[in-house]
């Protein structure tokens, strides 16, 4: 694990604004659901979700990530009609007040298409759905490709790895190649190792320690570890008391070269990045 940033990446220009990777960025989670694993993050309804997003923007978020289908371990599939009813009012309302880049956390092509029509900029796809790569290529949206073993409903049922770092990197390389073959420009692809998605605590620790090995090419690296169960396993804390553990894990991720931290707590993460940059300079 190193303690210096990788060479600066070129900014990613989006309709909602440029992502400048000369410093780590904060992606703020806005859950338009009533069943996300962190109760305090639940903001069903367009007005409530928009309000949470605007608060995050004020607190220092660089990207707002709206999601309307929980991907917590054991979560059931949400049908498209329900997902759209939750997600689109939030995106539309937020776009009236802010030009901050918007990401949509979805596995469904039609949901992503409508969200992009309403002003979203990034498809955050936990499933690496090839059709979403095609959509990103056609629309000019950026695309997050993420590793997940299984699907949310069953992913924590005893996942097994021989070498989690090597397996995740191999998966991401193949996913990136599929996206490139679909026409997504390389400068619009973001990697996510999928912390907590079909991984045991030891796997998550190995991935955090090996982020600099997982990264390849010049692709930005997104890490989502906010208040996840492995932090609870290590600290013995419930979800509501995992902020300190999340910030500590975030510092480890930054030291290994993470470019984006996906979090519930925007202000605290923005402060973490400021301190880390001052000390790592």
Q: Please name which of 138, 207, 232, 215 lies closest in space to residue 176, comparing C-alpha atoms.
A: 215
Distance CA 270, CA 266 (A): 6
* Three-state SS at 12: strand
pLDDT of 23 higher than 80: yes
Report the pLDDT value the prediction gives residue 29, as an integer from 0 to 100.
94
Task: Give rounded-to-5 percent helix, strand, coil for the chain.
Answer: 45, 15, 40
d(Cα 211, Cα 221) in Å, to the nearest integer? 8
| Cα 171 from Cα 157, distance rounded (Å) | 20
Instruction: Evaluate whether 206 touches 199 at the Cβ level (below 8 Å).
Output: no
Fold assignment, 23-280 = TIM Barrel (3.20.20)
Residue 70 above 70 pLDDT? Answer: no
Q: What would the pLDDT profile of 222-259 be if each residue is shown by its tens digit?
A: 999 989 999 999 999 999 999 999 999 999 999 999 99
The alpha carbon dihedral of 145, 63, 17, 139 has a sign of positive
Does residue 281 surpass a pLDDT of 50? yes
Q: What is the rounded CA–CA span in Å between residue 169 and residue 190?
A: 13
The whole model's pTM is what? 0.91
pLDDT tens-digit profile of 258-277? Answer: 999 999 999 999 999 999 99
| Residue-range domain boundaries for the chain | 23-280
Catalytic residues: 228, 262
**Which SS3 state, helix, strand or coil, does residue 185 take?**
coil
């Amino acid at each position: 694990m190193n303690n210096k940033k990788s060479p600066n990446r070129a900014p990613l220009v989006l309709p909602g604004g440029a992502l400048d990777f000369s410093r780590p960025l904060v992606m703020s989670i806005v859950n338009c659901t009533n069943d996300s694993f962190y109760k305090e993050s639940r903001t069903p309804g367009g007005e409530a979700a928009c309000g949470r997003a605007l608060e995050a923007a004020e607190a220092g978020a660089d990207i707002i990530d709206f999601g309307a289908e929980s991907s917590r371990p054991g979560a059931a599939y949400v049908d498209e009609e329900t997902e759209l009813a939750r997600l689109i009012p939030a995106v539309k309302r937020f776009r009236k007040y802010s030009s901050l880049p918007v990401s949509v956390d979805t596995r469904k092509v039609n949901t992503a298409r409508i969200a992009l029509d309403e002003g979203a900029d990034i498809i955050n796809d936990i499933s690496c759905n090839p059709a979403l790569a095609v959509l990103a290529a056609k629309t000019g949206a950026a695309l997050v490709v993420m590793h997940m073993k299984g699907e949310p409903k069953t992913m924590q049922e005893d996942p097994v790895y021989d070498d989690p770092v090597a397996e995740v990197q191999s998966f991401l390389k193949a996913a990136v190649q599929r996206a490139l073959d679909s026409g997504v420009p390389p400068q619009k692809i973001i990697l996510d190792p999928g912390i907590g998605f079909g991984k045991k605590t030891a796997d998550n620790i190995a991935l955090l320690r090996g982020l600099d090995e997982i990264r390849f090419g010049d692709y930005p690296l997104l890490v989502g570890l906010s208040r996840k169960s492995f932090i609870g396993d290590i600290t013995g804390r419930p979800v509501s008391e995992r902020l300190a553990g999340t910030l500590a894990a975030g510092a480890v991720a930054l030291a290994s070269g993470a470019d984006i931290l996906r979090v519930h707590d925007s202000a605290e993460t923005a402060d973490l990045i400021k301190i880390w940059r001052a000390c790592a300079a």
